[in-house]
Structure formats: C-alpha cells, structure tokens
Structure 1
Amino acid sequence: MTQERFDIFLTCPPGLESALASELAENGFAKCRPGQGGVTIKGGWSDVWRANLQIRGATRVLAVVDQFKTQHLNSLAQHARQTPWQTLFHPGTPVKVEATCRKSRIYHDGAAAERVSDAIARTALAEISDDADMTVRVRIDHDEVTLSLDTSGEPLHKRGYKQAVAKAPLRETLAALVLREIGYDGRAPLLDPMCGSGTFVIEAAQLAAGLAPGRARSFAFERLATFDRNAFMTLRNQPPHARSQAICLGFDRDPGAIRMSGENAERAEVSDLTQFSEGALKDLARPDGAPGWVVTNPPYGARIGDKSAVFSAYKAFGEVMRERFSGWRAALITTDDKMAKATGLAFDTISAPIDHGGLKIRIYVTGALK
C-alpha cells in the first residue's frame, strides 16, 4: 500500500462525527464518510501526514492496511501473513498489536492479536513488544476483519504545548469539534468565563491564527518505511493562513488556572491573540467591540462537589449573559439538563448526546442574546 489510495479512518467522540466530516471536507479531503466513532476518507500517505498535522477534531488517524472476512484463527493468520507489513516497517521496529472481537466466530481478543503479531514478526522482521509506540489495531466485527495502523502515536489532543492543566481539563480535540458544531469559525471574539487551563480560548485563537494543531509534536508515521521526511517538512513549514485578529478571552476565579492558561497560550504561540484575567463570574464585564461567542465548560459529573453551589454558578452565568451580553451568543456543555435550565437561557439548539470520558454530554447553544 505504498503508492495506492486506501481507507483512512479518523476517530472522534461518538456524536461528533458530522462535525469532523465537515472539517475534513473544508480542508479538501475527499469522500468523507461519517460512521460510528469517526470518519473514513480515501487517500495516500501524504493525506495521512496532513490529517495528523492539520485536522483539529480527530483523536487518531488510522491507515487501513487490509480488510477481509474470516471465521477461523488459522485463516486470520494466513491472511495476515499476506498483508504487506514489510512495506510499512523497517526491520527491528517495535510494534504492538491490539485486537477487539465483536459478534464474530473469532471471539478471543488475545488469540487474534497473537496471530497477527506472529505474521508481522515473520514478514517484516518487526519486534513485537507491549511497550511499543507503534500500534497495529485488529478489529473483527461480524467476521469482518480490519487491520489498521495507528499513524498518530500519542492521541492528537496532545498538541505539544499544554504542560500545565487544571482539574478535569477539556481535551483540545473535543473543544475543536464543539467550536465547529456551534458554528464558530475563528472570525469573531470568543470568551470563556470559566476557562480552567484555557483550552477553548487557545483552540479558538489557533483557529483564528491559522496555526496547524500538530505543528509542535511528533507522530508515529515518522518511523514508518513509507515516510518521506523532506515532503513532510515541506508540508509542516507551510505558512499559516490567518482568518482574523479576533481576541479570545479567558476568565477564572482561580489564579493558578489563569497562570496556567497564560503559559499554555505562550507555548501555543497565541499570546498576542489571547487575554486571561482572574475574577469571579459575577464580576464578568462585556468586552469592548463587536459581539462574539461565550463558550464554556462549567463543572458537571464527577467535577461537582457542592451541588447547590454549582447550580448557583449556572444561575449566575445565565444572569450575567442576559444582563451584559446583548448580541452575543452563548454555548455550554454539560451532562445535566437541569443545570443547563438553571441558567434561565433560551437555547436554540441542544445537541445529541456526545460520549466524553464515560459521560454523555450535550452542547446547549443560544441565539443572539436580547
């Protein structure tokens, strides 16, 4: 599969597949097919590199190496030995294999992984190791086998700039998809009144600045035999295409969170497009200039300590929005419909449930506030 086009599967939280498909289409990727937990596109290795480097919402980028149907372990082993692993791995490359079996005659994950591991070791002379950074994923679903190579390595929310995080941080990839889902395009101001370590603010600023989300990190595909470093560096060194100079603002009552946010923004190269200030929600003032978006990730689920205090925070958020943010739009994510209703805000749209760390969250979005 060194030259031809093949299936590439980009994973995301279930419930946000359409948002990821929209981002891929906007970035020129062809034949985007949303499915459960991600989007499939067709492409070659340069598309794999570009997707890892430029797509904000994907959790991982999987290159589909082979697909076939089988009901027996011996047949799985035979097919896997015919897969061109030797074109992918340099001899001695550490590789681990992970398998999941669902509603199939082959039902033992470990046995399936063992057969594929043996095929890779024999044909590519790779070193099979549970500690390897390079992962081959075996998925057997209703006797349909998909062999995929995880080209990302570490999950793509690890952008390479966030060394400091607040309690229960929002993942950057989820924040990017939430922003796309609500219609934020980087051309308007954005404010997060409970910003934590600044994820929404920094993601919005990077979008406005046109900075590639993966520019400061490495990827597993850089260790593959298919990798062309010169071609990738040409891609990585392309100048950014800024959308606006809109300022993105973060507020939090925790001085430690404000310090962390500022440090993260500086490492992310968007300190000139961001401002972070310490303050209580009740003291939040409307920024000067044109209306924009208020987007926040207030406490919910396991982050709730004193539930009555949290309800008070949601109520205060709604009061501040109605009293001071006429013309702005507001969006929040939470697991609890009652908490969203405690804001007293009228929501134009409420998203379908989205899987987030074992919780089901929804995005609540207002129209322009009166």
Structure 2
Amino acid sequence: MTSTPLQLYFVTAPGLEATLCEEVRSLGFHGAQAQRGGVSASGGWSDVWRANRAVRGATRILVEFASFRVVHLSQLDKRARKLDWGALLKPGVPVRVEASCRSSKIYHAGAAQERIETAIREAFGSPVDDDAPVTIRVRIDNNVCTLSVDSSGEPLHKRGFKLAVAKAPLRETLAALFLRQAGFAGTEPVIDPMCGSGTFAIEAAEMAAGLWPGRARTFAFEQLATYDAGRDPGVSTQERTVPEGVRFYGYDRDENAVRMARENAERAGVTDLTVFKQQPMSALTRPDGPAGLILSNPPYGGRIGNKARLAALYRAFGDAARRDFAGWRAGLVTDDEKLARATGLSFAYQSAPVDHGGITVKLYLTARPA
C-alpha cells in the first residue's frame, strides 16, 4: 500500500502555512512546500515519528497512503477492498473514518465514508468505532480519492503540560508560530504582560532549551502496523544552553492565572527558565538583562470584556513598551486593528489573518531596532 517516500502533510491554521513551512524546512524534512491549510513534505515512517515529536507549529500530521480516480460509489468500494490494509493497520485496533467530497461525481461524504468503513471491516477485519485511536481521512476532490492516516491522534497542541488553562487560551501550536513570525530564535528574553496560563513564556522557554514539544505524549502512529518500537529513536532533544540573563516572563493581574502558569511550567520542566508574577499592566517594567521581545495575546472585545474598556488596556501596553523597553520589539495578537492602534505603537509588520477558535486574529509587531 505505502511507497517510499511517503507524502506527509503538516496541518496548520490558514494564514500560518509559510511560517510552518520555514519550521519544517529548518528541521530537515525533504521537499517542504507551503499549501493551503498546511505544508507538504516527503519522508519515511521514521520521519513521521520525528515530525510528530519535533514540529512545534503543526496541528496534526497526515500520511497519504493511496490515491486513485473514482467517479461512482461502486468503483470506490472495489478500489478500497483491493488496498493492502494490513500493511498499515494492526489487526484488532479500532479505526475511525472521516470523509469529504468536493467538485466530484461522488458528492455524498456520508456514503463515501460508509464504503471505506465497510471495506476495512469486511476486507481486513478491523472494527470501526467513532472513538477509535486511528483515523483514516478520505478526501474526494475533482474525482480523485486520496486516503490518509492521521499519525498524530490527539491534536499536537496537546503537549501534556498545560493542564490548567485561563480564559480563551492560546494554543501552543499558534504561540510557537507567532513567536517564529516575531523573529524569536531562543536567544533573547520574552515577556508576556497578560500571560493567562503562560503559553507564550513556556513555549519560548522550551524553544530556547531545545525541548521537543511531543516529548511526553503518545501518538496514533504507535497503533499502526508500520510502527517499530525497536527502530524508533524516541525523543532526540538537542538541548541548548540558554544565554546568561535570558529568562521568560509572564505577568497577569489574575492570581489564579499566575498559579496555573507556574504549574504548567513545572510540568513542562522549565521552571528554572520562567518567572511568573501577579501584577497589572501598569506595573510592567524592564527586567535586568539583554533586550528582547514583548509579546502578548490580550483579551478581545468579542470574546472577553468590552472593546471600549479594552482600549485603555491596549494603551497601557503601548505606554509601557515606549517607557521602559527601548531596544525591544513589541507585538500582540488581536482580532481588532483599532485595538492594536490604541497602543500608539508603530507596527512594521502585520501577519496574514489567522483563525483562532473561530475568531480571525493577526500578529502586529514593531520593527527590530537597528
């Protein structure tokens, strides 16, 4: 069924494809190309295992294992039954099937899903279950059926460390890509003055220390016939020495949010690199050490609070950045350009629009000092 090299697809939020592509290329994956909704690359099964553990910005990683032209359901049924499911699936491991159809003669996704489920159950014998650990994704687009297996399982933002979350938490995968867009490379301090449960500070600390994001969780690929634990090198963390004086700070006026951030940092093993403190925006001051990056995901009026009241909070962010942070870059993620402009900061960069939990946001960032 499978061929070498495999086609890997790294899924991300639309608007972040180019940034994720930079990360995938930096990790040495062959032929990485940005596409709508993700990044394609090629490799073997060991690359699939490494990708799930090492890539910070992907939501999940799909592995294509079959593609063929199909124009009616009986043809889909026949082709599906001829596939060597045993080369991919383990006997007895339940499977879930998801299907989508677009611009094709087969237009009923439910019927397509049922045909693939029947083929797996009758031709191979695997049980089909909506709660199965392995998901087969069927995409019929312009009369071409592409079958992929989700090698990740739980979404990759679920690292296993952020068990406590504040209101409207930022997903770790988005935080990693926004940090990359902001030019963060692990050698400068990062401050989040409205840190919530600490995502930006913890993600930055992990990146600086060279800790792989998937080092403490399991994946769907471990339930596949292609997985060989004896050949799996596991986590190959390339630990780095964090420069002297570089730490990652999170502040919040909510005492409970600060407590959660500390607990999450402890689970992630970066307590020694992070500092969390309860304080309002008005108390923000520059820490000792080199210049770096102020980056935050403040409340949005559509999700938390009222936009008229939030303008004062954004102004305080801008005032603090100008007052005490000469030589630093300042950035924020928000859904409202008016709130971004309320900071009074001169933004040199705006990201493409990005979907964040059903809200379209952008990263606004000041220029790097000369």
Task: Give the shorter-chain TM-score range.
Answer: over 0.9
Shift, 1:38, TM fit: 0.4
Say if 1:348 and 1:243 are closer, same or farther in 2 by CA, change over 3 A. farther
3-state SS of 1:231 partner: coil
What is the match of residue 247 of structure 1? Answer: 247
Q: Which runs of 5+ in 1 are unaligned?
A: none
Q: Which amino acid aligns with 1:242?
A: R
> In structure 2, what residue type is equivalent to 1:217?
R
Q: Secondary structure at the match of 1:31?
A: strand
Deviations along 1:171-199, one digit per CA (max 9) or x if unpaired, are 00010111111211111100000000000
Choose 243-252 or 165-174, whichever is displaced more: 243-252
User: What is the CA-CA distance between 1:239 and the residue it aligns to?
Assistant: 4.2
Matches of 1:293 and 1:192, distance apart in 2: 9
Could you report, residue by residue, the CA deviation over 1:6-36 in whole angstroms, capped at 9, with x for unpaired residues? Answer: 1010100000001111001100101001111
Offset, 1:82: 2.2
Q: Distance in 1 between matches of 2:98 and 2:223?
A: 19
Aligned residues: 368
Matched-pair identity in %: 52
* 1:235 matched residue in structure 2: 234
Matched residue SS, 1:129: coil
Closer/same/farther in 2, CA of residues 367 and 217 from structure 1, 3 Å limit: same
Q: 1:332 matched to which residue of 2?
A: 332
Q: Does the 8 Å CA contact 1:138/1:146 hold for their aligned counterparts? A: yes
State the partner residue of 2:190: 190
Q: TM-score, normalised by structure 1?
A: 0.97
Q: Which residue of 1 aligns with 2:70?
A: 70
Separation (CA, whole Å) in 2 of partners of 1:215 and 1:122: 37
Look up the equivalent residue of 2:121 and give its one-letter code.
A
Question: Which stretch shifts more, 292-301 or 45-54?
Answer: 292-301
1:245-284 map, 5 Å: 245=243, 246-284=246-284
- Report the RMSD for the aligned CA atoms in angstroms: 1.4
Deviation by residue 1:123-159 (Cα, 9 ceiling, x = unmatched): 3211011121211011111212110100100000000
Give the CA deviation at 1:302: 3.2
Question: 1:84, CA displacement in angstroms?
Answer: 2.0
1:178 matches 2:178: yes
Deviation, structure 1 residue 301: 4.8
Verify the 8 A CA contact 1:90 1:124 in the aligned structure 2.
no
Structure 1 residue 303, shift from structure 2 partner: 2.2
Tell me the residue number matched to 1:122: 122
Does the 8 Å contact 2:99/2:138 carry over to 1?
yes
Alpha-carbon displacement from aligned partner over 1:295-316 (angstroms, at most 9, x marks no partner): 1000115323232221110011
Gaps of 5+ in 2: none
Q: What TM-score do you get using the length of structure 2 for normalisation?
A: 0.97
Tell me the amino acid that sits aligned with residue 176 of structure 1: A
Task: Note the C-alpha offset of 1:163.
Answer: 1.1
Cα distance, 1:361–1:31 mapped onto 2, change above 3 Å: same
Cα distance in structure 2, aligned partners of 1:329 and 1:294: 6
Q: Residues of 2 paired with 1:275 and 1:347: CA distance?
A: 27
| Alignment partner, residue 97 of structure 1 | 97
2:290 matched residue in structure 1: 290
